[in-house]
């Protein structure tokens, strides 16, 4: 009987030890979990006095637990305990980088919903992990490109009306016994041609004393170049070629004096009121048929006398001056 009671006592004693040992393990695990969550935020200072021997007082940290100074700062989350799972409401972890620095460039470029750049397009600096370079200011699109439309051009100015015809009369030739007209036509650009008809009703070689009269006619042609580029206006250069024939008559004889002239002339022409024309110039000509010609004339005192028509030219050598002073109209 005593042996049976003792055996039962040993069984109860082993069961009591297992129960006490299981309770101690459960209590230690609960304290460990609580110390990693709540005491880390509470930051309670450890007791200053020595811990009582035996059991663990409430609120006291177990031996071997890291002091409160090792608790991570409040701005950094505590590391999760082993086997713990993050809750569904926990915010996502911030992107990797230094504190206060935003993540650039974004993880995906271009953003979702935008088409990818065409092949051959230069890579964006954000794709290469470099900050974008400063862009120059945009002062608007170039004229005629994109959606910009140039304003219509103004209508061209009316074409300048050039003169083509000019009809003139040489006033200066009246002093030399000739009536001369000029018909000029601008045929191309600054070039023109002139036809100069001439009627001779008198000559300086005539003499009333001997009864010598002169009459005749001639024609000349001129080729003009207008230096200012506008025909029949401004300065001009003209080449002159003409032929003249004058017949000298006395009471008993007559003689014909021909003249073939070649020369050049420089002058200018002005237009007033849109049509009135004043033209003048001077030049030099050479007579290829210049020579003295003599014929008989009646002497007023009786008898016959020999009358001589001198050679043309200032000095009787064929070179003579060519002058022009004419008025008329141009259109």
CATH number of the domain to which 259 belongs = 2.40.160
Q: What integer pLDDT is reported at residue 28 of this predicted model?
A: 59
Within a domain: residue 186? yes
Within a domain: residue 40? no
Q: Dig out the tokens for 58 from the structure.
A: 């409430």
Q: What integer pLDDT is reported at residue 53 of this predicted model?
A: 44
Q: What integer pLDDT is reported at residue 124 of this predicted model?
A: 57
* Averages of pLDDT over each 10 residues, the chain, 331 residues: 42 46 56 52 47 46 47 49 48 49 52 64 56 59 61 79 93 94 95 97 90 95 95 96 96 94 97 95 96 90 88 93 95 93
In the three-class reduction of DSSP (H, G, I as helix; E, B as strand; rest coil), residue 220 is classed as: strand
Instruction: Please tell me the total count of domains within the chain.
Output: 1
Within a domain: residue 7? no
Question: What pTM was estimated for this model as a whole?
Answer: 0.53
Q: How far apart are alpha carbons 100 and 272 in whole angstroms?
A: 88
Q: What integer pLDDT is reported at residue 73 of this predicted model?
A: 47
Q: What integer pLDDT is reported at residue 277 of this predicted model?
A: 97
User: What residues make up the domain containing 297?
Assistant: 165-330
Q: How far apart are alpha carbons 85 and 82 in whole angstroms?
A: 9
Q: What integer pLDDT is reported at residue 300 of this predicted model?
A: 83
Within a domain: residue 200? yes
Please list the residues that pair with 94 across neighbouring strands: none
Please list the residues that pair with 222 across neighbouring strands: 194, 240
Within a domain: residue 173? yes
Q: How far apart are alpha carbons 35 and 208 in whole angstroms?
A: 157
Q: What integer pLDDT is reported at residue 137 of this predicted model?
A: 60
Within a domain: residue 221? yes
Within a domain: residue 90? no
Q: Dig out the tokens for 230 from the structure.
A: 């506008």
Within a domain: residue 198? yes
In the three-class reduction of DSSP (H, G, I as helix; E, B as strand; rest coil), residue 40 is classed as: helix
Q: Which residues contact 208 (CB under 8 A, 6 or more apart)?
A: none
Q: Dig out the tokens for 70 from the structure.
A: 């090792």
């Amino acid at each position: 009987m005593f042996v049976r009671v003792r055996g039962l006592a040993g069984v109860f004693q082993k069961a009591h030890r297992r129960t006490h040992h299981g309770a101690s393990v459960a209590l230690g695990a609960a304290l460990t979990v609580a110390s990693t969550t709540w005491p880390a935020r509470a930051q309670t200072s450890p007791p200053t006095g020595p811990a009582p021997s035996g059991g663990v007082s409430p609120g006291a940290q177990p031996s071997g637990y890291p002091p409160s100074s090792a608790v991570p700062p409040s701005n950094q989350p505590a590391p999760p305990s082993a086997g713990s799972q993050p809750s569904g409401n926990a915010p996502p972890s911030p992107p990797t980088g230094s504190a206060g620095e935003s993540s650039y460039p974004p993880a995906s470029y271009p953003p979702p919903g935008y088409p990818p750049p065409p092949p051959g397009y230069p890579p964006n600096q954000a794709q290469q992990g470099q900050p974008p370079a400063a862009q120059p200011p945009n002062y608007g699109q170039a004229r005629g490109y994109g959606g910009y439309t140039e304003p219509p051009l103004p209508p061209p100015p009316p074409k300048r009306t050039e003169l083509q015809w000019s009809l003139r009369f040489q006033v200066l030739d009246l002093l030399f016994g000739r009536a001369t007209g000029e018909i000029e036509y601008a045929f191309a650009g600054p070039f023109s041609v002139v036809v100069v008809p001439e009627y001779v009703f008198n000559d300086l070689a005539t003499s009333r004393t001997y009864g010598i009269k002169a009459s005749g006619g001639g024609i000349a042609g001129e080729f003009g170049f207008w230096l200012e580029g506008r025909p029949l206006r401004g300065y001009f250069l003209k080449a002159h070629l003409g032929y003249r024939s004058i017949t000298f008559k006395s009471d008993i004889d007559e003689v014909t004096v021909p003249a073939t002239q070649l020369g050049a002339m420089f002058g200018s022409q002005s237009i007033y009121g849109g049509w009135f024309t004043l033209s003048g110039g001077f030049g030099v000509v050479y007579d290829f048929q210049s020579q003295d010609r003599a014929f008989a004339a009646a002497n007023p005192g009786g008898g016959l006398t020999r009358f001589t028509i001198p050679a043309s030219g200032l000095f009787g050598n064929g070179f003579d001056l060519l002058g022009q002073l004419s008025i008329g109209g141009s259109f």
